[in-house]
Amino acid sequence: MGGLRVAITGASGRMGGELLTAAADHDDVDYVLAATRTPEAVPSGDAPDAPDAVVADSDLGDALESHDIDVLVDFTVPEASVDYLRAAADSGVAAVVGTTGYDDDHLETLDSVAESVPFLRASNFSRGVAALRRAVEAAAGALSGYDVEVTETHHNGKRDAPSGTALTILDDIDEARGEAAERVHGREGDQPREGTEIGVHARRAGDVTGEHEVLFAGNEEVVELTHRAGSRGIFAVGALDAAAWLAGRSPGRYDFGEVLDAGGENEDDGASRSQ
Ligand X SMILES: O=C(O)C1=N[C@H](C(=O)O)C[C@H](O)C1
Detail the residues annotated as belonging to a binding site for NAD(+). Answer: 10-15, 98-100, 122-125
Task: Please pick, among 26, 154, 201, 227, the residue that the annotation labels catalytic.
Answer: 154
CB atoms within 10 A of CB 102: 20
- Cβ 24 vs Cβ 48: under 8 Å: yes
Query: Per rule CB under 6 A, is residue 99 in the interface with ligand X?
Result: no
The helix (run of H) or strand (run of E) holding residue 151 is strand 147-154
Element housing 139 (H / E) = helix 127-142
The answer to whether 201 is a known catalytic residue is no
For residue 204, the SS3 value is: strand
What are the DSSP E strand ranges found in 177-272? 183-185, 198-204, 211-218, 221-228, 252-254
Stretch that binds ligand NDP, among 10-18, 58-66, 104-112, 257-265 (CB under 6 A): 10-18
Asked if 122 touches ligand NDP (CB under 6 A), the answer is yes
Nearer to ligand NDP, 102 or 216 (CB): 102
Using CB under 6 A, which of 124, 151, 153, 266 touches ligand X?
A: 124
Q: For residue 154, indicate whether it is catalytic.
A: yes
The Cα–Cα gap between 168 and 241 comes to 21
**Residue 13 interacting partner from ligand X, ligand NDP, none (CB closer than 5 to 8 Å by kind):** ligand NDP
With CB under 6 A as the contact rule, the residue among 43, 164, 199, 238 that binds ligand X is 164
- Contact between 39 and 54 under an 8 Å Cβ cutoff? The reply is yes
81 binds ligand X per the rule CB under 6 A: no
In this structure, the chain runs to a length of 275
- Choice from 67, 106, 127, 158 touching ligand X (CB under 6 A): 158
Beta-bridged to residue 266, according to DSSP, are: 271
Q: Pick the binder of ligand NDP from 5, 6, 7, 16 (CB under 6 A).
A: 16
| Residues at the interface with ligand X (CB under 6 A) | 100, 123-124, 154, 158, 163-165, 210
Active site amino acids: 154, 158
